[in-house]
Structure 1
Amino acid sequence: MSKMQKIAVCIGYGPGIGAATARKFSKEGFQVALISRNADKLKAATKEIPNSHAFPADVTDPTSLTSALQSVQSALGPIDCMVYNAGSGLWKSYDELEIDELDYSMKCNCYGLLTAAKAVCPSMQARGSGSVIITGATAALRGKPKTAAFAAAKAAQRSMAQSLARQLFPNNIHVSYVIIDGAVGLSETRIDPDAIADTYFTLYQQPKSCWTFELDVRPYVETW
């Protein structure tokens, strides 16, 4: 690996946005660290995506996630772009929802983001450069009857992202929050994950005189 090669990490790797993002950054010449709980799926992914590396971890466990991100930086080098793609969909109304379920959703969407930021962003601040891209959802803006946990956790995540952006922008660290408004998939009525990955890379490349913090994406047929 070239010492000049850039490093990206995808936290919450999966077959949709995570895989597309990893492929995109790999195609653009990055070494890409993949983080998720399933070690077997990560191992398989590294065989399919060039220059990708598996770092199994549980985003809801601060010790596990911190250790994985430290390992990424020790093995590959300083992280140039962190994509926080972890999330948990839990579709229950308030009267069906248990406190521990809400707590899990908060851990996955918000607490994990804080853990990741604390593990990665100080190095970015020391270097005076970096990018953090967070996969959000429309639920961050409005709750519906069956999104009591998901909407609350995504709203908290969005607020955390705003706090990170306002603190880190002056350090030349671009923090962006992408609201995914629609189902992700390959049919015409869904958002193509590769198109989302292209959008993420565009955010990474934005000149610092014209940074986007919040961006929403949806298919043309989505009602909004």
Structure 2
Amino acid sequence: MQQPCSAVVIGVGPEQGLGATLAKCFSSKGLHVFIAGRSEDKLLHVVKTIRQQGGSATLVVADATVEHDIAHLFETIALQGYPLEIAAYNVDSNIRSPLLETENETFARLWQQNCLGGFLFGKEAVSLMLERGKGTLFFTGATASLRAKPPFTAFASAKAGLRALAQGMAREFSPRGIHVVHTILDGVIDGERARKQFPEFVAQKGPEGLMQLDAIADTYWAMHQQHRSAWTHELDLRPFKESF
């Protein structure tokens, strides 16, 4: 019996979040899913849901900014023998901080989480994918990937760096069969984090003004399915009511 392929998603937190939704989507397509994040309790909950839905998953506790953790994550994938088909870097950390109030530590931490981690993860993912000469690597971006707007200048500089990383990797590895995709999420995701952190804003937007988790995941899967003669490298997603 042929070994099924796999997907790995880092940045998996609450079940009502994009990381968990991507993992469940990829699992529903028959892939064994490796999920990674810093909270073992949240990862266990997502793995339980995936298994209840008939899928298979492995959790790995990992901090995206720690090289050893990322190396361990991909060693686990290699040792379990599932060919890597999809890798998604979904780490997103933001802090509201006017520039003159931004400490060096804050600026560095945002860069590490949003950009350095993408480098560590992307490098390991591509190394595995090149063995088969195919695979899809996703980097989740934000509106800030394209423009810096106070009081989120530090966050924007990190997301712009992630976008540049994705561009460089696409140009280097597309000719070798690796599909690198940078997705710009231009809107607020209707998930647990938004509902807890700014419930009034969520209520003001209403369901049609928010990005729905399953719809985003469906778009990721559609891009993975693209023929290599017509690959998308970058696209932006937003609710139809969102101004831009």
TM range (shorter): over 0.9
Give 1:25's aligned residue.
Answer: 26
TM-score when normalising by structure 2: 0.88
Aligned to 1:45, the other structure's residue is in SS state helix
Mapping for residues 73-88 of structure 1, pairs under 5 Å:
73-88=78-93
- Compute the displacement of 1:4 (Å): 3.3
Paired amino acid for 1:193? L
Aligned to 1:216, the other structure's residue is in SS state strand
Distance 1:33 1:76, change over 3 A: farther
Give 2:234's aligned residue.
Answer: 214
- Compute the displacement of 1:76 (Å): 4.4
Structure 1 unmatched runs, 5+: none
- Compute the displacement of 1:199 (Å): 0.4
**Mapped partners of 1:177, 1:112: distance in 2:** 15
**Mapped partners of 2:182, 2:45: distance in 1:** 29
Paired amino acid for 1:84? Y
Paired amino acid for 2:56? N
Aligned to 1:127, the other structure's residue is in SS state coil
Paired amino acid for 2:12? Y
In the alignment, is the contact (CA less than 8 A) between 2:8 and 2:87 conserved in 1? Answer: yes
**Mapped partners of 1:161, 1:108: distance in 2:** 15
Give 1:169's aligned residue.
Answer: 174
CA RMSD in angstroms, aligned pairs only? 1.2
**What is the CA deviation profile of residues 88-128 of structure 1, one whole-angstrom value per residue up to 9, with x for unaligned ones?**
11111111111111111111111111111222212212321
Percent identity between the aligned chains? 37
1:199 alignment partner, one of 192, 212, 219: 219
Give 1:37's aligned residue.
Answer: 38
- Compute the displacement of 1:35 (Å): 0.4
Give 2:49's aligned residue.
Answer: 48
**Mapped partners of 1:198, 1:119: distance in 2:** 25
1:130 alignment partner, one of 126, 135, 140: 135
1:106 alignment partner, one of 108, 111, 118: 111
In the alignment, is the contact (CA less than 8 A) between 1:39 and 1:56 conserved in 2? Answer: yes
- Compute the displacement of 1:138 (Å): 0.9
Give 1:57's aligned residue.
Answer: 62
Give 2:243's aligned residue.
Answer: 223
**Mapped partners of 1:76, 1:219: distance in 2:** 39
Aligned to 1:188, the other structure's residue is in SS state helix
In the alignment, is the contact (CA less than 8 A) between 1:7 and 1:76 conserved in 2? Answer: no
Give 1:94's aligned residue.
Answer: 99
**Mapped partners of 2:77, 2:128: distance in 1:** 13
